[in-house]
Amino acid sequence: MAKKRIVVLYGGRADEHSISCVSTAGVLNAWNNDKFEAIPIGITKDGHWVYGGTDPRTFKLDGAHMPTVEITPESRPVVLNIGQGRDGFLIGEHEGFTTPGASEDLESLGHIDAVFPVLHGPYGEDGTVQGLLEMMGVPYVGCGVFASAACMDKHFTKTLLKAAGIPVSPGITLDTRSYDAPSGFKANGAALLDAVRKAGLEYPLFVKPSRAGSSFGVTKVEEESADALAAAVFEASHHDWRVLVETGITAREIECAVFAPKPGETPRPAWPGEIVLDHAAVEDQFYDYDSKYTDASASHVEVPAKLPEELLRKVQQTAVRAFEAVDGAGLSRVDTFVKPDGDVLVNEINTMPGFTPISMYPKAWEASGIAYPDLIEALIEGVLD
């Protein structure tokens, strides 16, 4: 039986570019080569689609080096012919990177059975690539256009969840496009404080870009200060003009992996897990970018989280409800807050959660009975004809 040919997209234009590279290394190193032929296509930070060059299986993430998709002498540009659908993945000569039209003769990558977009953040996890693949008629792993777009934008995620009767963390949304950086942000400090007071938000506050991930641009504001709040909003605005200001909730952050590889299938939740910070002596620390990816000693994963089983089940039920409310498909990680009184609030939904060696999603399923290679295989098989 011929192997199914699967394009694996990685890299991308988002801040999470390097995380995507390492996630892809994890996926490809756990790949079932007997069933699937992997065709890695990288996307550079400036948007070039690249075939060949550095093998993504070699990517690692550490404090000294952040892997990126680079154009090497062996690389060739990928050109898409939308009308040819699954046969529309073409490659040109290397000169095509610098001289448009340099390659008149394009070579086909052959028939493509599906795409696994291991892309995090904007221009990959936000419905843009999903829409492109829909237009080509190419099956792909993960959430569709609507769910991807809605969950990429934390503001609209909360809007959808609230409409479905699912509790979310209190907060306000700011449009920073009219601010002149950086002086304009500082000048608006008093107005920002007033907006926080009117909304009844309590300190500490978390200020975050609405459409970003991996804790990029997130700042914790400990106490009422116009300058500190303005600086936090300014930092978040580097990543998105829409900025959320949310109450810092006294709660445990519990994450639940949801799995529904086949269309129409009832979503399955894994045992909820918790990221436990190992630097407890630092009172103001939160689960930032370094804790997630570059400092393996900063935290560890506990699955299942150390909570009563009844509460774990409640998190699972909430995660599935949230997944269904946004029309999720394939996979997602639903991040929740579990309060001391047992209330469960949804913080956000990640439609392409990290697959790095220390990521929650694969660890949660491993603890729930599905090994990482089997997880990847099921996700791919779920979208094949």
CATH 3.30.470.20 placement within the chain: 151-167+250-351
CATH class of 171-247: alpha beta
Show pLDDT as tens, one digit a residue, over the chain (385 residues): 789 999 999 999 998 899 999 999 999 999 999 999 999 999 999 999 999 989 999 998 776 688 999 999 999 999 999 999 999 999 998 888 887 666 568 999 999 999 999 999 889 999 999 999 999 999 999 999 999 999 999 999 999 999 999 999 999 999 999 886 666 687 888 899 999 999 999 999 999 999 876 578 899 999 999 999 999 999 999 889 999 999 999 999 999 999 999 998 999 999 999 998 876 544 445 545 555 555 556 678 999 999 999 999 999 999 999 999 999 999 999 999 999 999 999 999 999 999 876 789 999 999 999 999 999 999 999 999 8
The second-level CATH assignment, the architecture, of 151-167+250-351 is: 2-Layer Sandwich (3.30)
Is 11 assigned a ligand-binding role in the annotation?
Answer: no
- Assigned token pair, 3: 């192997």
pLDDT of residue 283: 47
pLDDT of residue 186: 77
CATH 3.40.50.20 placement within the chain: 4-141
Residue 81 sits at the vertex; the CA angle it makes with 97 and 146, to the nearest 5 degrees, is 105
Is 52 assigned a ligand-binding role in the annotation?
Answer: no
Output the CA torsion 263→305→355→138 (10° steps): 10
Is 162 assigned a ligand-binding role in the annotation?
Answer: no
pLDDT of residue 146: 98
Residues, the chain: 385
pLDDT of residue 353: 94
pLDDT of residue 97: 86
Residue 277 contacts residue 287 (beta carbons within 8 Å): yes
Is 348 assigned a ligand-binding role in the annotation?
Answer: yes
Q: CATH number for the 4-141 domain, one of 3.90.120.10, 1.10.3720.10, 3.40.50.20, 3.30.479.30? A: 3.40.50.20
Identity at 33, one-letter amino acid code: N
Residue 161 sits at the vertex; the CA angle it makes with 159 and 165, to the nearest 5 degrees, is 115
* CA–CA dist 112, 316 (Å, integer): 35
Is 207 assigned a ligand-binding role in the annotation?
Answer: yes
Is 249 assigned a ligand-binding role in the annotation?
Answer: yes
**Per-residue CA distances from 5 to 9, 112, 235, 260, 329 (Å):** 13, 5, 42, 22, 21
Tell me the catalytic residues.
16, 214, 359
Query: What is the full DSSP assignment across 45-100?
Result: TTS-EEESSS-GGG---BTTB-------TT-EEEEE-GGGGGG-EEE--GGGGTST
pLDDT of residue 300: 84
SS3 category, 380 = helix
Is 251 assigned a ligand-binding role in the annotation?
Answer: yes
Is 58 assigned a ligand-binding role in the annotation?
Answer: no
Is 4 assigned a ligand-binding role in the annotation?
Answer: no
Residue 177 CA to chain centroid, in angstroms?
Answer: 24
Residue 118 contacts residue 124 (beta carbons within 8 Å): no
Query: What is the full DSSP assignment across 319-331?
Result: HHHHHHHTT--EE
CATH 3.30.1490.20 placement within the chain: 171-247
